[in-house]
Amino acid sequence: MKRNIKEEIVEIGKRLYNAKLNGGYGGNFSVRDEDFIYITPSGLPKDKLDYTDIVVIDFKGNLVEGQGKPSSEILFHILIYKKREDVNAIIHAHPAFATGFSIAQTPIEDGIHEESCIVLGKVPVIPYEVTSSKELAEKVSDVITNHDAALLANHGAIAVGEDLERAFRKIEELELLCKMITVATIMGGVKKISEEKLALLRETMIKRAKRNDKA
Ligand SMILES: [Zn+2]
120's CB contacts (< 8 A; 6+ apart) are 108, 148, 149, 170, 173, 174, 177
Q: Which residues are catalytic?
A: 73
Any idea what the Cα angle at residue 38 is, between residues 32 and 42, rounded to 5°?
135
pLDDT at 30: 97
pLDDT at 120: 93
The H or E element that residue 101 is part of is helix 96-103
The answer to whether residue 171 scores a pLDDT higher than 70 is yes
The pLDDT of 131-159, averaged and rounded, is 96
Of 145, 154, 148, the C-alpha closest to 117 is: 148
User: 184 falls in which pLDDT band (50, 70, 90)?
Assistant: very high
| pTM for this predicted structure | 0.94
Compute CA distances 75 → 28, 39, 57, 63, 141, whole Å: 12, 11, 11, 13, 9
Task: Estimate the share of the chain in helix, then strand, then coil, as percent rounded to the nearest 5.
Answer: 45, 20, 35
- Ligand 1 centroid–CA 143 distance in Å is 16
What SS3 state is found at 163? coil
Model pLDDT for residues 83-93, shown as the tens digit of each residue: 999 999 999 99
The answer to whether residue 214 scores a pLDDT higher than 70 is no
Q: Are 156 and 95 in contact (CB under 8 A)?
A: yes
User: Residue 130 is part of a domain; what is its CATH number?
Assistant: 3.40.225.10
List CB-based neighbours of ion ligand 1 within 5 Å. Answer: 156
- Ligand 1 centroid–CA 180 distance in Å is 23
Model pLDDT for residues 22-66, shown as the tens digit of each residue: 988 899 999 999 999 999 999 999 999 999 999 999 999 999 999
Which amino acid makes up residue 43?
G
Q: Are 163 and 88 in contact (CB under 8 A)?
A: yes
Model pLDDT for residues 109-130, shown as the tens digit of each residue: 999 999 898 899 999 999 999 9
- Ligand 1 centroid–CA 22 distance in Å is 10
The answer to whether residue 104 scores a pLDDT higher than 80 is yes
d(CA 154, CA 178): 15
d(CA 2, CA 82): 21
- Ligand 1 centroid–CA 9 distance in Å is 17
- Ligand 1 centroid–CA 97 distance in Å is 14
Mean pLDDT, the chain, rounded, equals: 94
Number of domains in the chain: 1
Task: Please give the residue range of the domain that contains residue 141.
Answer: 3-214
